Structure 1
């Protein structure tokens, strides 16, 4: 039996084991280097190694940058908070609660590693403001030490991992998008079901784009072009759902374009799409033009230089509701337990607040943070146990601080095993973080067993408190995130209906709604039985948005009859209330459809039908 098969059969992942082993060795090296530099908290360098290490080169560079940038900003804020504490301790507690809440809010509105850096700026202030509250006069020294250790850890992680990290498979990503487009074109030519599966593939591809954007401006432009292609393809897919078949000449040309995509002849496929026979098609040609413009920028960006791009805008979904709730939860928890600390004077309160600032902010960006707290708590418990064993069994034998560090190494090298196994991977990083946090090399030893135990209890109280917060205060789950998405799509729809200038902002509205539809489908696929419901909601809301835009066009057209204009205005007024009252009255859409013909009537009838079948919101 080979080594790889033995590891796999016993629950270990060989690639994760190799990566974690390199990371653990780099962690040990960083602690030694930081100690040799004379830094007071060399263990923080090891923590930064675990935080900054990544398997892809672009992510490694970008996360290292945001690790240091977030720490720098948080350290500056932490210094000012400690200076404020000298006026009154409540200033520090209130300021820290506000800062952590603010960074949590901003981090939940962002994507990728910039979200990590933003949240990190929040709890980095805690590390400066809370770890040495008994000596506020030394805060500048503590801040400088924090920055130096983080920079040391980031540099060691980057140097140790750069040549082992992969570069990401951009070719595979492009191939998946090409295959999707070919299948989409065939589906448009001969609709025969399967639109839901295509939409699911599209949503999965969109979600996988962000990791490829890390590391360079070129990667970001590539990802933006890929996302523009997906957003341009989405309305064409929606057009095929329930619409009459396309004229035979147009369907044949779409099949030809799909064949060219299959052959890898991008230029021929684009040429076919740019010269489609649209004269006999009722659908507006701007949908196809949007796709061809996006493909031009994606397939041959040099061809678009100096030309006006017809690719659609890329406007990403931001969870404003979830961000507000996360900020209130994080800021409120920090304020409450900070006040308890001030009133009780508990000496280990700062350790509890420090852990809470991480748990209640960083993990709020996860899909199910309450579930993550169970794994985090288990990993931290193992870290506390390992730290106690090291402190009580080995460190009393050490004669120098270097010996203390070397005695810590075997415990640090247990982390790769935890990372590699499928049952312990989610808590493995927290094991290392807590072990390092509790293991500052220092002689002579001053802490007794009771002191270490109490510090461990204070640390473990943080994930437990955060778990309670995630369960009781604006409970975070995939169901709620899905509900937020639907609610924001309905708010967008109501805002489009309400805004008389909606036509001028049509590209922005459409791009945001398309991206939210993809996110809704992707999240719903992780919930049992929610996929079909999400497809229905997405299709209905996007069809309604298209119908509302057409109503605005009819109102603005001087050739529209007075009766038709009034009917279009009635549709807009009814849909203005869809987000607040859940208005399910499609009669106004039916009345307007009877006054129109062709694709306009079909769109309105589909919107009315979808409104009748729209599942309950929530």
Structure 2
């Protein structure tokens, strides 16, 4: 494991300063549990200033909603602790369900609203009359913590979100450039190549998530946000474009000496990098347009020529835009008046995959874990039952996005147990000797600084969070120092047992494993393509593309971790995107076709839908049927009867794109070749 860097230690110092500031103000204000303010600092702090501010806004909003919910629930069930805990458990599960439907950082609001109501309301079950005081104190403590975290993050050498986004964009574009060169040079894809291409989609999702924080970064203006959005759109369009180009080049049809020479020039253009003058790009685009307008013989090679030149043009225009936008974002020299070359038809919608069924199971597991502990607490009169139920709610909620949360909850519980041992050592031997605030600050600095540095790194974030966020509360840092050792021991046991119960209940009723989650996502991809073919009418192309790319981004880490990775490694979900987009383009033109052409197109759509339904039913990628190839070859000659240039282009490129996606190694020799291209 790599040791923390100087930047990690500096972040830890900032976080510790903010936590100590929050503790000092909380003690001065006479808040009953100022350690909650310290915990909030460590939960809200992020190495990026904008991310800290956004988390602070989300956390305060969620806490406020949770406090209002607790105030609404507790007084109405004063005479029935059982119904009160049932209502709080149900609220926690409901908020988690809503949170899982919003796969952006904003989902933190709903998740926090759920377990904040439990944190505020459960301690009041035995004494409901103090609910107002508990809610107001908790909101004050949370607000104090996020205020200190935000102020320190923004004022003490802030690190802007834009720098991190720019770094991720640079890495993504470098990897995409490697893919582009591989495609143009005709390199065959292997398992590692497929994995790296899927990872591009996952990295695009990560960039999108991080970009959510840009609006909270004071160093970022609206023009830069628009430039990053424009770059994101082109990044997402580039992936299916490269995949489609690879299909057409692999078919080895339509590339004569002129196109081979053109491909070599495009390779040289890609290798030249961003310093290439604009005039060179203009000359290359002129050559591509000239190749597209070359005399045609009306055969299948002309169909492939048209497809290749269109994709060459899109590739060069996209590449030029990406280079320009990357340069502007990295240098900060934004020239919004500079014209883009590529027009992303209908764009890419910001659509995200949702899984209501898994969200429902997560909500039920969370409510069950909280309810189970509350039942035991009320039945036995366990003094620390509320703390255990609170931690069960927290543990189930923060790991609910995982396919199998139980191992991670167990890991977090073990790390929390480690923090509890440290807290008990402090409670028994260190804190009784502390005489003033200054000595307290020096005494608790070593473990919190170490955990803070670990929290700054993604690889050790969970270790750092478990230690830094739990230590202040387990040590019960408040005005009545030294804390009672027995109370700290009981609190530590309750925290551990709450997390352990969450892990057990989750393992029994919710965990499915990465393999099951992978199969479920693949079925969604296959069914979405089948539905696009079955509807036979235009659907939202931008939403389809955005949603499918988001699913591929979710698939990438799962495919690399499942046990049957060898069976799934060569699955290329990009193919389904290409087929789906071609189907959408064909359906857009279908209503303008004559009866014979429409029937031939419908036969193709029927076979595509049946194929993907079969893949979804058998939960594996099948070989495409020969009947689909026959239907495609029978439909292609009908292109000659289409009088509209736009309609003919949609149908021709759609059919040839589908044929290349499924049967790129099958030659096409229909009886009437001159009917394909007008």
TM-score clears 0.5? yes
Question: Given the alignment of the two structures, is residue 228 of structure 1 paired with residue 233 of structure 2, yes or no?
Answer: yes
Aligned 1:99-114 pairs, distance under 5 A: 99-114=91-106
Q: CA deviation at 1:493?
A: 1.8
Quick one: which of 138, 144, 149 aligns to 2:141? 149
Aligned pair count reads 597
Q: CA deviation at 1:396?
A: 5.0
CA distance, structure 2, for counterparts of residue 184 and residue 310 of structure 1: 23
Q: CA deviation at 1:535?
A: 4.5
Unpaired runs of at least 5, structure 1: 1-6, 611-618
**CA contact under 8 A between 2:346 and 2:541: conserved in structure 1?**
no
**CA contact under 8 A between 1:57 and 1:165: conserved in structure 2?**
yes
Q: 1:114-167 deviations in whole A, cap 9, x for unaligned? A: 233332222111121123333322222222211211121112222323323322
**CA contact under 8 A between 1:59 and 1:214: conserved in structure 2?**
yes
Question: In the alignment, which residue of structure 2 is the partner of 1:282?
Answer: 306
Question: In the alignment, which residue of structure 1 is the partner of 2:263?
Answer: 251
Aligned 1:191-210 pairs, distance under 5 A: 191-194=186-189, 196=194, 199-200=197-198, 202-203=200-201, 205-209=203-207, 210=209
Q: CA deviation at 1:417?
A: 2.3
Quick one: which of 275, 283, 287 aligns to 1:263? 275
When the two structures are superposed, what TM-score results if normalisation uses the length of structure 1? 0.83
Q: 3-state DSSP class of the match of 2:23?
A: helix
Unpaired runs of at least 5, structure 2: 217-221, 294-301, 326-334, 637-651, 665-678
Q: 1:576-613 deviations in whole A, cap 9, x for unaligned? A: 73465239572431221231447666544455569xxx
**CA contact under 8 A between 1:497 and 1:572: conserved in structure 2?**
yes
CA distance, structure 1, for counterparts of residue 158 and residue 512 of structure 2: 33
**CA contact under 8 A between 2:349 and 2:542: conserved in structure 1?**
no
The answer to which of 267-276 and 112-121 deviates more is: 267-276
CA distance, structure 2, for counterparts of residue 360 and residue 270 of structure 1: 56
**CA contact under 8 A between 1:548 and 1:572: conserved in structure 2?**
no
Question: Given the alignment of the two structures, is residue 574 of structure 1 paired with residue 567 of structure 2, yes or no?
Answer: no
1:328–1:444 distance in 2 versus 1, CA, 3 Å? closer
CA distance, structure 2, for counterparts of residue 205 and residue 450 of structure 1: 48
**CA contact under 8 A between 1:224 and 1:314: conserved in structure 2?**
no
Question: In the alignment, which residue of structure 2 is the partner of 1:164?
Answer: 157
Question: In the alignment, which residue of structure 1 is the partner of 2:641?
Answer: none
Q: 1:471-505 deviations in whole A, cap 9, x for unaligned? A: 3323154334323321221231232133233x242
Q: 1:520-556 deviations in whole A, cap 9, x for unaligned? A: 2344234577388254241443344246446635753
Q: 3-state DSSP class of the match of 2:247?
A: coil
**CA contact under 8 A between 2:352 and 2:550: conserved in structure 1?**
yes
When the two structures are superposed, what TM-score results if normalisation uses the length of structure 2? 0.77
CA distance, structure 2, for counterparts of residue 182 and residue 205 of structure 1: 14
1:406–1:368 distance in 2 versus 1, CA, 3 Å? farther
TM-align CA RMSD: 3.8
Aligned 1:284-433 pairs, distance under 5 A: 292=317, 296=321, 299=325, 301-303=336-338, 310=345, 312-320=347-355, 321-366=357-402, 369-395=405-431, 406-407=439-440, 410-411=443-444, 413-420=446-453, 426-433=462-469
CA distance, structure 1, for counterparts of residue 545 and residue 480 of structure 2: 65
CA distance, structure 2, for counterparts of residue 232 and residue 396 of structure 1: 63
Q: 1:445-494 deviations in whole A, cap 9, x for unaligned? A: 89865444333211101221222234332315433432332122123123
Question: In the alignment, which residue of structure 2 is the partner of 1:589?
Answer: 628
Name which structure has the greater RCO, CA cutoff 8 Å, separation 6+.
2
